[in-house]
Structure 1
Amino acid sequence: MRHTPSFALTEVAEITRLIRENPWATLVSHTDAGELVASHYPVILDETTGGTDEIVLVSHVGRPDERLHELGRHELLLIIRGPHGYISPGWYDANPAVPTWNFVTAHLTGTPELLSDDENLRVLDRLVDHFEDLLPEPRRLNGTVANSEYAARIVQGTVGFRLRVTRFTAKNKMSQNRPLETVERIIGELDGDGPYASPTLAAEMRRTHGVTGA
């Protein structure tokens, strides 16, 4: 990722917020055969492990992705992407300008630790509960006897892992190089009904700039 100090995101708390709000991750491995392998899975924070200055994630891959990634044998790059979208120069002012793309993303690196079947099942439970808890009638992976038997079959088709992040690079590009009046116009367009409207990106820009509003 291109290093731009004014857009750099360096605080662990902001990275964990980004993960919590955007749990769909891209996993990238460079295998011993020299191949690049990419997969996509949900991740959640393991906040029972490590300290406040450490980022630890848990998830799983479906077999045979663990073999394709050679999971646990070398470093894994895990990419989290937050709100993003096109920014038209017509939203700036009358001066000549080029369009851009606002975004927030993090590249997290570490060597995965493979989990036992028992711990993998607990992680699968947590993953399901994490997303189902928001629903009025949550469906649980494990609970009744029938579901427990089903979960035991599911765990045989997956490999759980824990990733302790050893380093990360993150960027939060939200028009910080523009004056406040331009930022407010951009937010207004993103909150509108045009072809590039994006309320989630508008909310992220408000957070970055400390702008209040709807």
Structure 2
Amino acid sequence: MRQNPSFAFTDVAELRRLIDRNPWVTLVSHAAEGLVASHYAVLLDEGRDDLTIVGHVGRPDDAVHGLGDGELLVVVQGPHGYVSPGWYGEGAAVPTWNFVSAHLAGVPEILTAEENLAVLDRLVARFERPMPSPRLMWERPNDAQFIERLERGTVGFRLTPTRVTAKRKLSQNRPDEVIETIIGELSGDGPHRNPGLAAEMRRSQDARDAARGRAGGAR
């Protein structure tokens, strides 16, 4: 992530929303043999209201990452996509990439087997609940022996980040009419259609409009 203050955001509620809506993350560690990366789903710790996350890795990724021994970087990637210079109007312009992303870094705590089982149960429920016939972790045909074997093949962790870097680059530096054009193009049926990014831009623009309205009313 570009290390400058442009488009940075620190609002905890917005960061929690980003994590909750984009649970498939990249885990990066600096191991003895160099950088290593893995990909897993995480959840916000339901007992906290900060940016603490819980998750698991499958063995032997715990050893590969040295999980619990050093700093772990968790990369959360939200909506992102291409923005054509043709959407800016007639002036000189180059393309860009809009995105929402966060980096969470800290030393993870290893969970007990009981805690890990609870996280695995939550993770399955999170994605199975919307299914027409959910297959939850403890439901038949799964039995306790099967679930215990599953748990032994994983290592759960809890990470309370000590460093957070987040960017929300959604064309905020452009005039309102250009932002509306970009949202329209991303919502359309063109080659760079991206309704998820369009929705994120619309949400950002609506928040900016509301803030400007409040500022105007305060005068």
TM-score by length of 1: 0.93
Q: Which residue of 1 aligns with 2:13?
A: 13
Deviations 1:166-204 (A, max 9, x none): 120000000011100000000000001111000000000
Give 4+ residue runs of structure 1 displaced > 6 Å after superposition: none
Match of 2:176 in 1: 180
Find the partner of 1:97 among 93, 96, 116.
93
Equivalent position amino acid for 1:203 in 2: A
Residue in 1 aligned with 2:150?
A: 154
Residue in 2 aligned with 1:23?
Answer: 23
Task: Quote the RMSD (CA, aligned, Å).
Answer: 1.5
| 1:41 equivalent in alignment to 2:33 | no
Is 1:66 aligned with 2:62? yes
Q: Which residue of 2 aligns with 1:106?
A: 102
Paired residue for 2:2?
Answer: 2
For 2:196 and 2:77, locate their aligned partners in 1 and report how far apart those are by CA, in whole Å.
13
The residue type equivalent to 1:16 in the other structure is: R
The match for 2:138 is 142
2:189 paired residue number: 193
Conservation of the 8 A alpha-carbon contact between 1:141 and 1:148: no
Cα distance between partner residues in 2 of 1:21 and 1:146: 28
* Structure 1 residues 146 and 206: CA distance shift in structure 2, 3 A: closer
Provide structure 1 residue ranges, at least 5 long, that are not aligned to the other structure.
none
Offset at residue 46 of structure 1 (A): 0.5
AA paired with 1:22?
Answer: N
**Alignment length, in residue pairs?**
208
Aligned-pair distance for 1:5?
2.7
